[in-house]
Amino acid sequence: MKKIYFLFFVWYLSFNNSAMATIQLCSNSIIYHNGTINDTLPKSRIFFVPVITYAPETNVALGISGICSYQKPSSDTSYLQLTAIYTFNQQTILDAALRHYFHNNKNLLLANTVYKNFPEYFYGLGNTTPDSLSQLISTHSLRVNIEWYQQIKPYWYVGGVINMLDYFSIHANDPNKIPLPELGNSGGYTLGLGASILHDNRDNAFNATKGWYLCANVVSFNQQFGSAYNFVKSNVDARYYFRTNSKTVLAGQLLYQGNSGNVPFWQTAALGGSNMMRGLYAGRYRDNYLLAAQSEWRYQFSKKWGFTTFAALGKVANTMNELDLDNVHSSYGIGFRRRITKNNKINIRIDVARSGGATNFYVNLAEAF
């Protein structure tokens, strides 16, 4: 019953803000403002874009995304995005994301709801698990994350976090492969409450050329909230962007994740994917703690075309003390960019990355970080 009331509350929040977004004139591009307020609304509309991506976790993915961006006078641009994707690996993803500014940027609401029917490979827990024991598991899950922020000074926010993750079912397809960990092997429900701090003075949220982004939070999952497991999750995501000249940008990111307590395996920190440690299968290495860093050199050689090189290091560990320099995983690669919007500089990115003897190919919208 607690889950039903909570989901109803999330549903109401999302659609209440969605209605406000629809009433407003919706911009035909998502524009990010850094300190410069535009009190006039541009010519605007709701628009839809096809989604065609590729990653080793999904194979080819096809779908559609509807975007409504809008701006109240004296506030930064807000947006609502709804996405539906089906992949050639027979996976289904439904995603709703909201970013809404209130009261001349004094308050910020971030809400994200994701449903997944997602067969994926599980390689066990640890930083040195072998490929040979990988297990294909079928999962159905619903994730809801809500963050409410109060501005304390320009570009700085503090607020609260509600995080819910419900694994309706988990099924291992081959009993002869690595068994699923006892904690979480039958799915389950987690609900956590926490606190967060956010700093963002980037010049563009989708393709930054200068500025900092920092988000740090701690969330407690407790049976008193209705969670099936008791544990604490902490995250730190720090990014920096520096323009070296008119055509090149140097970007860097440091990512930390930590879990303590009775952590179900599907809530552990996962290394790999199309955003961090490109070249590694998403979730190739899992454990309680994760530390990873990446850098990217971006070169825009024409108005529409760009080139990148990138490299990353990362590790997972059972305890924080084991986050040392032993057995650190690495990845590196190159990429091409094709700009598809003028004002907000959104790119289609095509990356080829290598890690651990494997080479993987990615096609996505917007930068990795």
Q: Which domain holds residue 338?
A: 43-365
Sign (positive or negative) of CA dihedral 315, 316, 321, 326: negative
In whole angstroms, what is the distance from residue 12 CA to residue 69 CA? 20
The Cα angle at residue 267 between residues 183 and 144, in degrees rounded to 5: 125
Torsion region of 226: left, alpha or beta (phi above 0 gives left; psi -120 to 50 gives alpha):
left
Amino acid type, 80: L
**Domain annotation covers residue 137:** yes
Number of structural domains found in the chain: 1
| Mean pLDDT of all residues in 153-174 | 93
Say which residue, 171 or 329, is predicted with more confidence.
329
Q: How confident is the model at residue 18 (pLDDT cuts 50, 70, 90)?
A: very low
**How many residues make up the chain in this entry?**
369
**Domain annotation covers residue 318:** yes
Cβ(115)–Cβ(94) under 8 Å?
yes
Name the residue among 83, 113, 92, 107 with its Cα closest to residue 8.
113
* Residue 184 pLDDT > 90: yes
Tokens of 131: 């490929």
Q: Across the chain, what does the average pLDDT equal?
A: 86
**Domain annotation covers residue 248:** yes
* Residue 3 pLDDT > 50: no
| Mean pLDDT of all residues in 272-298 | 96
Give the pLDDT confidence score for residue 40 in this predicted structure.
Answer: 39
**Domain annotation covers residue 19:** no
Exposure string for 222-250, b = 16+ CB within 10 A, e = fewer: beebbbbbebbbbbbbbbbbeeeeeebbe
Give the pLDDT confidence score for residue 33 in this predicted structure.
Answer: 34
pLDDT 10s digits, 314-347: 999 999 999 999 999 999 999 999 998 877 788 9
Name the residue among 289, 244, 282, 297 with its Cα closest to residue 263.
289
**Domain annotation covers residue 146:** yes
**Domain annotation covers residue 264:** yes
pLDDT 10s digits, 96-139: 999 998 888 899 999 999 999 999 999 999 999 998 889 999 99
Per the listing, tokens 């960990």 go with 181
**Domain annotation covers residue 126:** yes
| Mean pLDDT of all residues in 137-166 | 95
In whole angstroms, what is the distance from residue 211 CA to residue 213 CA? 7
Amino acid type, 234: S
Tokens of 240: 């920096």
Q: How confident is the model at residue 141 (pLDDT cuts 50, 70, 90)?
A: very high
Tokens of 251: 């970007």
Give the pLDDT confidence score for residue 105 in this predicted structure.
Answer: 84
Strand pairing report for 107-117 and 135-153:
antiparallel
**Domain annotation covers residue 29:** no
Q: What is the 3-state secondary structure (H, E, C) of the chain?
A: CHHHHHHHHHHHHHHHHHHHHHHCCCECCCCCCCCCCCCCCCCECCEEEEEEEEECCCEEEEEEEEEEEECCCCCCCEEEEEEEEEECCCCEEEEEEEEEEECCCCEEEEEEEEEEECCEEECCEECCCCHHHCEEEEEEEEEEEEEEEEEEECCEEEEEEEEEEEEEEEEECCCCCCCCCCCCCCCEEEEEEEEEEEEECCCCCCCCCCEEEEEEEEEEECHHHCCCCCEEEEEEEEEEEEECCCCEEEEEEEEEEEEEECCCHHHCEEECCCCCCCCCCCCCEEECEEEEEEEEEEEECCCCEEEEEEEEEEEEECCHHHCCCCCCEEEEEEEEEEECCCCCCCEEEEEEEEECCEEEEEEEECCCC
In whole angstroms, what is the distance from residue 229 CA to residue 67 CA? 36
Give the pLDDT confidence score for residue 328 in this predicted structure.
Answer: 97
pLDDT 10s digits, 247-268: 999 999 999 999 999 999 999 9
* Residue 14 pLDDT > 60: no
Give the pLDDT confidence score for residue 342 in this predicted structure.
Answer: 76
CATH code at position 212: 2.40.160.50
